[in-house]
Chains A and B, each alone.
Chain A
């Protein structure tokens, strides 16, 4: 049964909250500028709370069950992060307060900048980008500015492997650059031959996700980086998959010049139903002066024999500018800080290793029933095919049927290089029992795909709704409702 909308539940005259009376003399209102048409819903507080309670019951988070959504790193979000981000000294702090009065928050930011630089092997970090895609866009603007300063503004090409996330080419276009797609080879690596042919004086750089979206570590990563550097290009690392590598490998050590982190993946700030996230950008020493403004700097004053550490906000000397208002998603910064503080380096490494262990376990357990096109040791995720059992069964059908078994489906139909891809990322916080439960469901679904494919094609059967008509939604868009008058 569907839940009525707020608008359908509204009745004129109800209100969910009492507000104070005016305690100062009123002023004249500019009548010609006023409105009287505001049709917001009117509900009692109980009806409102029940509404959202029911909506939450019709949603599914990591808290609800296994959520192996590839490339999204849906791991447990520690509750302590939620508590700490809600401390009044953080939530009520205004971003434009005097620097002296916000030394605490700035200290947290400075330390997280330093930790992220250290974890990735970079010189400097900006916490400003609000999401991974914005980190990419920031990096591309920086790469271009750096090359212009070297008299190489004629470069316009960004090389992107065919397995890349869609944000990579989209960010490239936003930066005014063009995309040249590089194919994958038979082992799931970027094709060195194709890359070699593409590397010339038109290249701004390469965007590379490592491990790539097949969940595979690029086996020739050092040659790849060298080829790009040799033609005068820069190498950008998409850090979406850092949950395989934190504590295991520092991308900066390989020569990668810039990389964003997704705090909402590797460092477990909650995804919030799609955001807000945080996409800090880490860069090499060569590029540090181009970072977006502001960054937090530490100043050590030694006056009158006292040593005092202070923090301030600074604009790097060749900054590409500001990416969003204020200093970044501080609430996410606090959570990520707490997460790293709890783990230490040993904990981060343990996370990566268990994320990889879990993903390899699932690959081996499933590969006889779900073909794995690049069947070698994978990192934190792997890709298999979902068109199993009988003709006409699709990856979508498998996904929808998983819902009936109580699991969130994996990412499907991506990466594009594998038809009917199912991209499975279990993360390190899932137990062997959970993984085995998932394997059992997947094997049962594969049997159904052989014996009762029509049952799969009609799935889900137990969700609040049956399969939804997405074509109709796009052809006849209904994007809002209203209070019924």
Chain B
């Protein structure tokens, strides 16, 4: 079917006004040999049939998803309050375009302004953009911003091996259009110190993910001081849920915050859409990528909101723009705003602490299993909701047991990211997990490692 409302009479009347006899005649400019090709696509199906097909497809992957699993690594299942989707389903929001016409778009503009404000609170930054595609691209834009601040005199972005491997890849891709390079220490031992050793006057920025890919907090203040000492910027990559309890990056010296906002009321959705958070100190805003909503007044002096500082953007500045970004992630930013306003100050703290205590409980239980260790690279570093388990068996085997016996998704087998970590499993524990869920995980691991060892 289509959603075309025209009747035969409508078409005839319209063609008569235009002055052509047939619809085909409107396509005379299209080269004749290529016009109206035969295409190998399935024939149209009814809504009922399409729904049935996709329900079938979705149910195939639903088997492991009824209860929360233990896989995080950059995309997390957290509780999503019912308020979030009820707002997202408002047609005035989800069927609107970028609010270029401010007077008819005050609602989405104000919601975005409030999002920006809450992100600033969360990160202790002065300015937040309206959104980016995801955490990795927000980080890439942050790197480009740092290079722009360096005005071509600084050509190195430094990051540690503890940065999410996919973020590293995305930053590298984005840097392909520049003469700059991404410098990463060869070893993951003493990560913060080896990162600090790479900082020099050629460095535009130092990227610090904290909690890092392995769930552990990094010494942000030390790295910020070291970065600033050589005139470089510090780009922090936090987990926004962790900021419910841990110090904000802006208070630890960060100049830019780039983060994945998916934890804030957005489902994993097989990897997207997610939400790129980009926030910064005031001095950096005019070189930044991304839309900004600002407060102003109308002709009667009443408060209102508009897209502002647009002279940075592609539709005004074209090749001199700070970025090519146009479409962003407005609706997932709205989800994050509704989420943050729903849980509020005390709720975000509570959720963060639930993640902290439950993951520490799980880690302590697993640490007592024979042959298992927690966070082998840096056992003394604090962690938030994710941690690494070193196992006496391949991590993939532990995952298979978790899937088979509990029927949920296991963790991230780190051998997939690092050749020397085949025996390590990255587990995420959040407020969704009950003690029973965690105990079941520990029981499966106990059984699996003991069978594994006895073999």
A272-B93, A403-B104 given; A174·B1 CB < 8 A:
no
- Number of residues of chain B lying within 8 A (CB) of chain A: 202
The answer to whether B47 touches A80 (Cβ under 8 A) is: yes
Kindly state the separation between the CA atoms of A247 and B43 in the bound complex, as whole angstroms: 13
Which of A59-67, A197-205, A280-288 lies on the face that meets chain B? A59-67
Kindly state the separation between the CA atoms of A276 and B277 in the bound complex, as whole angstroms: 13
Q: Is the CB of A392 closer than 8 A to any CB of chain B?
A: no
The answer to whether B342 touches A48 (Cβ under 8 A) is: yes
Contacts of A274 in B (CB 8 A): 97-99, 108, 130-131, 291, 327-328, 330-331
Name which residue of chain A comes closest to B351, CB basis.
Answer: A19
Q: Is the CB of B420 closer than 8 A to any CB of chain A?
A: no
Cβ-defined partner of A399 (8 Å) among B64, B101, B334, B438 = B101
The answer to whether B14 touches A34 (Cβ under 8 A) is: no
Name which residue of chain A comes closest to B170, CB basis.
Answer: A322
Name which residue of chain A comes closest to B133, CB basis.
Answer: A130
Kindly state the separation between the CA atoms of A191 and B366 in the bound complex, as whole angstroms: 70
Cβ-defined partner of B6 (8 Å) among A29, A69, A219, A432 = A432
Kindly state the separation between the CA atoms of A157 and B85 in the bound complex, as whole angstroms: 46
Name which residue of chain B comes closest to A78, CB basis.
Answer: B3
Q: Is the CB of B320 closer than 8 A to any CB of chain A?
A: yes
Q: Is the CB of A441 closer than 8 A to any CB of chain B?
A: no
The answer to whether B103 touches A465 (Cβ under 8 A) is: yes
For the A-B complex, the count of residue pairs with Cβ-Cβ distances under 8 Å equals 682
Cβ-defined partner of B308 (8 Å) among A249, A365, A431, A470 = A470
Kindly state the separation between the CA atoms of A33 and B211 in the bound complex, as whole angstroms: 12
Distance to closest chain A CB from B112 (angstroms): 8
A15-B347, A166-B314, A276-B327 given; A357·B26 CB < 8 A:
yes
Which of B74-82, B185-193, B200-208, B367-375 lies on the face that meets chain A? B74-82
Contacts of B310 in A (CB 8 A): 474
Q: Is the CB of A417 closer than 8 A to any CB of chain B?
A: no
Kindly state the separation between the CA atoms of A481 and B43 in the bound complex, as whole angstroms: 52
Q: Restricting to B97-140, which residues have a CB under 8 Å from any CB of A?
A: 97-108, 110-114, 116-118, 120-122, 126-128, 130-131, 133-137
Contacts of B405 in A (CB 8 A): none
A176-B176, A321-B173 given; A338·B83 CB < 8 A:
no
The answer to whether A39 touches B44 (Cβ under 8 A) is: no
Kindly state the separation between the CA atoms of A63 and B90 in the bound complex, as whole angstroms: 9
Kindly state the separation between the CA atoms of A216 and B73 in the bound complex, as whole angstroms: 47
The answer to whether A249 touches B30 (Cβ under 8 A) is: yes
The answer to whether B26 touches A360 (Cβ under 8 A) is: yes
Contacts of A16 in B (CB 8 A): 81, 83, 341-344, 347
The answer to whether A275 touches B347 (Cβ under 8 A) is: no
Distance to closest chain B CB from A330 (angstroms): 4
Cβ-defined partner of A103 (8 Å) among B60, B177, B243, B350 = B60
A59-B107, A94-B270, A479-B116 given; A26·B1 CB < 8 A:
no
Q: Is the CB of A87 closer than 8 A to any CB of chain B?
A: yes
Name which residue of chain B comes closest to A97, CB basis.
Answer: B409
Contacts of B435 in A (CB 8 A): 23-24
The answer to whether A2 touches B303 (Cβ under 8 A) is: yes
The answer to whether B297 touches A38 (Cβ under 8 A) is: no
Which of B33-41, B153-161, B223-231 lies on the face that meets chain A? B33-41
Cβ-defined partner of B319 (8 Å) among A27, A118, A179, A431 = A179
The answer to whether B40 touches A118 (Cβ under 8 A) is: yes
Can you list 5 contacts pairing A with B, beta carbon distance less than 8 Å? A105-B270, A137-B324, A174-B174, A292-B173, A332-B273
Q: Please name 14 further chain A to chain B contacts, defined as beta carbons within 8 Å, in addition to the given A56-B90, A351-B4, A357-B14, sorted by A numbering.
A: A17-B83, A19-B431, A33-B382, A38-B244, A43-B344, A167-B324, A217-B30, A271-B94, A274-B130, A326-B166, A330-B271, A432-B5, A432-B13, A473-B306
The 6 closest A-B pairs by CB, nearest first: A326-B271, A63-B91, A89-B58, A272-B331, A95-B271, A344-B44
